[in-house]
Every structure is written in C-alpha cells, then in structure tokens.
Chains A and B, each alone.
Chain A
Amino acid sequence: MLETLRKVFPTVSRLRFTVQMAMFFLMVWGSNVVGHYAADKISTALPALSCAYDKQHGSYCVLIPLQHQMHHRIGAAVVKAQQVTMQVVLPILLTMATFLAFFFVVGKAFCGWICPLGTVQELLNKVGRRFNRPLHRLQDGNLKKVRPAKWVMLLGLIFALPILAGVGIAPHGLSNPYCDVCPSRIVTTLLTADVEEIALKTGDSTRMLLNALGNIVAGFVVVAALAIRQPFCRICPMLSFNSLFQRLSPMRLSKVKHESCEKCGVCTQACPMDIPEIAREHGRKAYHEDCTLCGRCAEYCPQDGVIKLKWGPFALFSSSREYYKGRVKGELPDGTVKPVKFVKRGEANA
C-alpha cells in the first residue's frame, strides 16, 4: 500500500499538487457535487479564500461571515449597547468554532494546499517558469515593507471598517470591504463563466472605488504571479488570520539546528513566500507567520531530518539528502524547470 502510494506520489509536491487540484475543483465548482444550499456546504467558515460570490462553490471562506458579523451584529450592538446578548456573541463564537475545528486538522496548510487563489497563483507561476519569465524574489528590505500589509488588511478591512459601517460612522459601502478588493472574488467567478463580479458596481461611490481597486489588484495579481511567487498571499488577511492561530494546530513545520544552514539557504530559495527565517532560525522561530506549510523547504533541504512537516508528534515528511537529489533533477529549488521547446533557455532567475 505504502509502495503504491510512493509510486503515485513520488514527491510531496506531486501529492500537494493533487490535493490542490482536487480542492480547487471542490472550492470553485463543488456545489454541483455537495449541493447548492449553505447547509449543504462543507463549511461556511473555511480558512481559505474560497469565494462566496462564486455561485458554484462547495464551501466558503471565514472572512465573509466575519465581515458580516462585524457589520450587522457588532456594529448594530454598539449602537444599541443593551442588545449585546448571546444573539451577538453566539454567531461569532459559532463562526470561530467552525473555523477552528477545520483549522485544527491541517492548520496553515489550508493556505499552501487548499486555497483556490493560492493554487491559481502557483499554476500561473509554473506557466511563467515554463516560458522562462524572470523570477522576482522579495528579500529582506522589501519583505520588511510588505509583511505588515497582511495585518493592516486583517485589522482594517475585516474588523475595523465593517464595524464602523455597522455603527454608522463609515458609509454602508464599507460593510464588506475586503471582499470588494479580494482577487479571489473575480478570479474564481470568472472560472465559473460568471462575469458579474468583474463588472464594476456603479451605484454606490464607495463600493465603486473599492471594486475598481479590486479589479486592478486582480489584474495585477494574475500577471504578477507569472514572475513573483504567490504575490497576493503575502498581503492576504487570511494568512495573518491563520497565523494568529498557527500554534493551536498540531500541524506545523519543525526545524532543528544544523551547522551548514547559515551557508546553505536552499530552503529559502525553495520557499514560495521567500521566508529567510527558515534558513537562519530553528525551533519555533523557523515556523514563521508567513509560512503556508507547502513543505517545499523540507523537500529541498539536503540534510537528513533537519526540516520536518509534523502533525503533533508524527513526522509526515522529513528532509533527506536522497530525496533532495531526486527532487532537484526535475525542478530547481527556485522553481526553475526546463522551458517549453520554442522558448530560449536563458537566465530564469533575475
């Protein structure tokens, strides 16, 4: 049995790709299988950008109910403070409980293995690599600037603005501002042949501006993904939201100290989020808030047992020199592959 599995999935990347594609079909067109009603869905609080505006989805993202609860429940309750009762608290607790129940099982692997927008960006980057487009990596200086953006997105767009809209301070058009700028809303609905979400909403000026921004962001992400790995994931509020709870899940990345790590750095090259800490640090610090648990660092670590993907005490995958040797034959750590025939082989990495 184990041998058969090894033949079918010779690498962790192959297994992850298979899971990603299965989840992608489920997240984008899954209602044709699981059913159309909210009650039929796998979850309405999924820790991945499975867009609720996609009418054929099989499950949807936790950020939708959170924004609505901030707007309808908390905002309204602040206006009428005496109504802060279990009717306010309970729906939010239920959303969080559902989210945590899912999150407990695979943790931040929702980002690296399940999120449909993550899958789309990864597929686009593979196309870019095949066509020998340059690979732009974010290094220390740029990373420091970009990293806080995901927290600003979470606090500002998921929590603050919907509450302010519910209270009446901000315009009603800011009731679910994140969805208005989320590229998943446009990308996944287009995949279901639905042009409604790419069309600009013209009624409310606030919402129109947000939608305009969302369309520009979506267009930018689609092209940028050809040359930058996971461009939107770096500022995604789901990543920051998931990282708030990343220590609660038994699923995690584990790294032990090794003397060659400082000079090596192959794991950082392999990391689609360009996390330098995975090479520099060990222990808790190596499992960084930007990590999506894709497992590439473990795949490309040339040292036996240094980086592991673990679920509780169980090592699901452990780095090894033998595995590394086989892995680099098909694809270099930075994702460089043999380009398609009519594309000149050149410097892929800028």
Chain B
Amino acid sequence: MRSKVSTANSIATILLLGRLFISSASAAHDHQAPAAGNAERQGSAERAIQQESAGRGRTWTSAPLIAPAGRPGERNSANMVPVNLAGVGLQVYGADATQSPKNVPLEDGRWRFAPEPSAKGGHYWMQAAEVRGAETRTATTAWSFGTQGKSPAAMLAQAKGSLDIVPLRIPEHGGFREGTAWEFGVRYEGQPLPGAVLHLHTENGTRTRVVADAEGVAKVLFPRDFDPASFDKVAGADRTRRGFVLMTELEPEGRKFVTAFNHFYYPDTMRGRNLWAGAGLFVIGMLCAAPLLRHRERNNA
C-alpha cells in the first residue's frame, strides 16, 4: 500500500515540472557518483573517518552502535567495532532472506566480515544484541559492498529481533542526506508498532524524536546541522559524513528492549553546487545554438 502511494507520489512529482526552477528543497538528494554501492564511492578522506568514528561514537550518544573501523582502502571486507555494547557476537544477514544469518565473533575488539565469494557483495544487515538481566540492547546497521549483489528488499522485510528499526529503503547513491526525509519501519515480533517513539541523535549534536504512524512507519527528516567549517578540506561537502542513530525502547511484561539503528548521513548536495550558475551556463549553451534556428545555411557544408 505504502509503495503504491510512493509510486503515485513519484509520478505526480514528474508531472510537476515547474519544480525544476525551485532550488534546494526539492533537490536535497545525494548523487555524487552513481556506481554499484557506497563502498565503491568512498574517498580516501572519507575512509579515514571510519577509524575515528568508533571512538567518537562513545561521546555523542549513549545508544548501542555498530561502527565501521576498517583501514583506508578496504574494499572486500568490513571491520566493525561495538560502541556502548559489551562484547557480543555479530549476526550478519545477507540479501537472501532464506539463508540463516552468519555469526561473526568479536576478536581483538573487532568484528571482521567478508562476504562469501559466491555471494559477491551488495547489501548486508548487521545486528549485535547484549542481554543485561531483563534488558536487551540491540545495535543494528546496514552495510553495502561495492560489488553489486541481490536486492535487499526481502532482507529488510525479514524479522530479525524482537524489536526492530528498519529503513524501508537503503540508499545506494551516497547515503542519507540532511534535509531529506526517509521512512523507517518499527516492528515488534515482526508486527508493525504504531506510535513507537524514535529518538534521533546525530554526531553533529541534534537530539530529536519522531513518532511512528498507524502502520509503524516513522518519517525521519535529517536535520540541517552540518557546520560548513567541518567539511572535508580535500574532498569537500560531497564526501563529508557524520553518524546518526535512531533508538527506541519497549517494555512488555517486565522485559525491556532497547534497539538502535545507526548509519551515516551527508550534507545536502546543493551545498557544494550553484543552481543559478549552472542554469546560466545552460542558457549560454542554448544561446550559442540559437543562430542555427535563425540563419539559413547557405553552402550546405
């Protein structure tokens, strides 16, 4: 139902070509380089952030996180570390929902995961849960390898824990962007959880909350909280990113579940672009061709 509405909205959007001349609000999407997956496009400056992010995570949120900690240039494997989570194993779900998740042990404070050669790459779902008495703290994240794999639609629909926060769609072209809204489903025991409260914490310091609708879907608007001074000096705004986490809690029958989904978000692409300059150059190109419309060719060659 939701996807039909989404499709109808997309078609309506297409018809509103007047939007072409409205600048940033509608254009706040990523699209730096459109190849197979996120890892393919990570610049070296961006990769260097990964190693620091684990340490930083402890300071900007108390939510359990699965943070990337790979070395720069890592392409075919994922090195992850737990943050605000005691030493537990990592479960990795592949795009093929019929397969059982792979258990990755914590070794030297890290989880090291590489997809099977037959599975190539694509999208994976990572989950680590720590049980403290009656409380279960679960950290989740999505990871994408550069090599194209299967569609993650079935993987996202699959119930993985008691309390799940799942993006309805994993971004493939650069990630979540500030100023854009993304839908996240909240499920308990595989069923939608209407009215669930999601807390959004960002590495840039934003603290906000979103309430899931009757279908258990929360529409999260990523805040415009990037300081231009924080942009990567070499790679620019397009390759700068910060972490965010969405967290929710549920206390059924004397038990307590705390579940978090963490990932990265990026600055609005239009921060590094000038619409009017681009449109002006386009018009200059049109004007250069305009004589072709007025003057008849005399010599035909």
Binding site for B on A (CB under 8 A): 29, 32, 35-40, 44, 52-53, 55-56, 60, 64-65, 68, 72, 87, 91, 128, 133-134, 136-142, 172, 175-176, 186, 190-204, 211-212, 215-224, 226-228, 347, 350
Contact = CB atoms under 8 A, between A and B. Distances in A.
Contacts of B147: 91
Contacts of B301: 138-142
B214 interface: no
B122 A216 contact: no
Interface of B: 7, 10-11, 13-14, 16-17, 19-23, 26-27, 29, 31, 33-37, 40, 43, 76, 95, 122-123, 147-153, 169-170, 172-173, 236-238, 269-270, 272-275, 277-279, 281-290, 292-293, 295-298, 300-301
Contact of A60 (B19, B29, B34, B37): B34
Q: Which of B21, B236, B277 has the most CB of A within 10 A?
A: B277
Contacts of A44: 36, 148
Contacts of B7: 32
Contacts of A186: 282
Contacts of A128: 293
Contacts of B278: 198-200, 211, 215
A251 B21 CA distance: 42
B300 A32 contact: no
Contacts of A141: 301
A99 to B, nearest CB: 14
B36 A65 contact: yes
Contact of A350 (B36, B148, B151, B300): B300
A41 B275 CA distance: 30
Contact of B11 (A32, A140, A195): A32
B56 to A, nearest CB: 24
28 contacts: A29-B10, A36-B169, A37-B123, A44-B148, A52-B35, A55-B173, A56-B14, A65-B35, A68-B35, A91-B147, A134-B296, A138-B301, A140-B301, A141-B301, A176-B33, A195-B19, A199-B270, A199-B273, A200-B273, A201-B272, A203-B238, A203-B272, A212-B281, A215-B281, A216-B285, A219-B284, A223-B290, A227-B289
